[in-house]
Amino acid sequence: MDYTLTSSEQKDTKLLLTVDQAGAEDLVISEKEKSFYDVKNAEGVVQYRIVNIARGPLQNVNNSSSSTNSNPIQGCQFYVINELNEEHSNLKPGKPIPRRQPVYTSRKQRDEEKKATHKEVERRRRDRMNKLLSRLKDQLPDTAGAGSCNADSKVSILVKACEYIEKMQEKDNSFIVCLEENEKLERENRKLKVENEKLRKDIQRLTEMVESKKNVKQEKVGIINNKMAEPEKKQISFLKRAAMQVAAGGSAGFVEVCIMQPLDVVKTRLQLQSKPPAATAASGSAASKVYYKGVFDCFVKMYKHEGILSYWKGILPPVMVETPKRALKFVCFEQYKPLFMFGSPTPTPLTFSLAGLGAGLTEAIVVNPFEVVKVAQQADRSRMKEAPTTWAVTRRIIREEGFGLRGLNKGVTATMGRNGVFNMIYFGFYHSVKNIMPAYEDSTMEFLRKVILGFTSGTLASIINIPFDVAKSRIQGPQPIPGQRKYHTTFRSIVLVAKEEGVGALYKGLVPKIMRLGPGGAIMLLVFEYAYEYLEHRFA
pLDDT at 145 over 90: no
Listed range (90-94, 157-161, 290-294, 362-366) with the worst mean pLDDT: 90-94
The predicted pLDDT at position 164 comes to 86
- pLDDT tens, position by position, 63-95: 444 444 444 444 444 444 444 444 444 445 555
- How many CB atoms are located within 10 Å of the residue 363 CB? 26
How would residue 305 be classed by pLDDT, with cut points 50, 70 and 90? confident
The predicted pLDDT at position 285 comes to 46
Q: What is the CATH number of the domain that holds 329?
A: 1.50.40.10
How would residue 50 be classed by pLDDT, with cut points 50, 70 and 90? low
Q: Is residue 87 part of a domain?
A: no
Give the end of a domain, one of 81, 114, 136: 81
Give me the percent of the chain exceeding a pLDDT of 70: 70
How would residue 99 be classed by pLDDT, with cut points 50, 70 and 90? low
Q: Is residue 220 part of a domain?
A: no
Q: Is residue 247 part of a domain?
A: yes
Higher-pLDDT residue of 140, 64: 140
Average pLDDT across the chain, whole number: 75
The Cβ-side half-sphere exposure at 530, using a 13 Å CA radius, reads 14
59-66: long-range contacts, CB 8 A cutoff, minimum separation 24:
65/7, 65/8, 65/9, 66/5, 66/6, 66/7, 66/8
Alpha-carbon distance values, 20 to 3, 24, 55, 77 (Å)? 12, 6, 14, 15
Q: Is residue 49 part of a domain?
A: yes
pLDDT at 533 over 70: yes
* DSSP-assigned beta bridge partners for residue 48: 39
pTM, two decimals, is 0.49
* DSSP-assigned beta bridge partners for residue 79: 52
- pLDDT tens, position by position, 394-426: 888 888 888 787 788 888 899 999 999 999 999
The predicted pLDDT at position 273 comes to 75
Q: Is residue 299 part of a domain?
A: yes
Domain span at 334:
243-539
Q: Is residue 372 part of a domain?
A: yes
Q: Is residue 185 part of a domain?
A: no
The count of structural domains within the chain is 2
Give the end of a domain, one of 23, 47, 81: 81
Is residue 337 within 8 A of residue 347, CB to CB? The reply is yes
The three-point CA angle 338-342-345 to 5° equals: 70
- pLDDT tens, position by position, 164-198: 888 888 888 888 988 899 999 999 999 999 899 88
Q: Determine which helix (DSSP H) or strand (DSSP E) holds 261, and give its type and residue range.
A: helix 238-272
- pLDDT tens, position by position, 448-503: 999 999 999 999 999 999 999 888 888 887 777 766 778 878 898 898 889 988 88
Sheet holding 66-67, edge to edge: 27-29, 15-19, 2-7, 66-67
Helices 238-272 & 510-539 angle (0-180, nearest 10): 170
- How many CB atoms are located within 10 Å of the residue 176 CB? 10
Give the end of a domain, one of 81, 116, 131: 81
Q: Is residue 173 part of a domain?
A: no
